[in-house]
Chain A
Amino acid sequence: DAKTTQPTSMDCAEGRAANLPCNHSTISGNEYVYWYRQIHSQGPQYIIHGLKNNETNEMASLIITEDRKSSTLILPHATLRDTAVYYCIVRVAGGGGFKTIFGAGTRLFVKA
């Protein structure tokens, strides 16, 4: 089973910020939070990841709560091309390899 829970779908107006929540209440201290998105018929695209500090890159910002039990992906100015399924994943790094368990994700609809 996935270690994260996300809303099934969300709407956002074009040009506004899209805030996508993710709960990971059983996250371990050495597990990172990763966000991917998938546009129909393409492979998942990496967006951002973090351990405990907030992170920002050219695509998005990641806000992780202090207790690390939840996080929010922020797309600051959503465009129609941001319509996709967004996956939040937690994963531990280690020499023995790792499994990445995807949930069903959040389907984001950006509307004009």
Chain B
Amino acid sequence: DAGVTQSPTHLIKTRGQQVTLRCSPKSGHDTVSWYQQALGQGPQFIFQYYEEEERQRGNFPDRFSGHQFPNYSSELNVNALLLGDSALYLCASQGGVGNQPQHFGDGTRLSIL
């Protein structure tokens, strides 16, 4: 039973470029959340998708957008990359939006030059 998988594992971009990160949820899970984790800090909530709609959003600019597909997989898009966007991007999935715990992938390490 595969857990949450994210791709790619590492990515290097330059300022001003755009990036797309991908997430496949754990089998049976239909809710996906994205987080940004800067070095030495806890994960910061970006947004959550359920039934292909953005249900909740954290304090991130519109440069951060997402999508959820009918198979529950999800993409995180970041436009006009800034140096400060360098971070580990984590995807978490769970079944529904109730009290079941989220399960995390190992993230995509994004470096901006």
Contact = CB atoms under 8 A, between A and B. Distances in A.
Contacts of B105: 43
Contact of B90 (A43, A46, A49, A93): A43
Interface string B55-97: 1101000000000000000000000000000000010100001
Interface residues of A, number: 28
Contacts, number: 64
Contacts of A42: 106
Interface in B89-113: 90, 92, 97-99, 101-107
A49 B101 CA distance: 8
B101 A98 contact: no
Contacts of A45: 104
Contacts of A2: 42
Contacts of B101: 34, 46, 49
B108 to A, nearest CB: 10
Interface of B: 4, 31, 33, 35, 41-45, 48, 50, 55-56, 58, 90, 92, 97-99, 101-107
Interface of A: 2, 32, 34, 36, 41-46, 49, 51, 85, 87, 91, 93-105
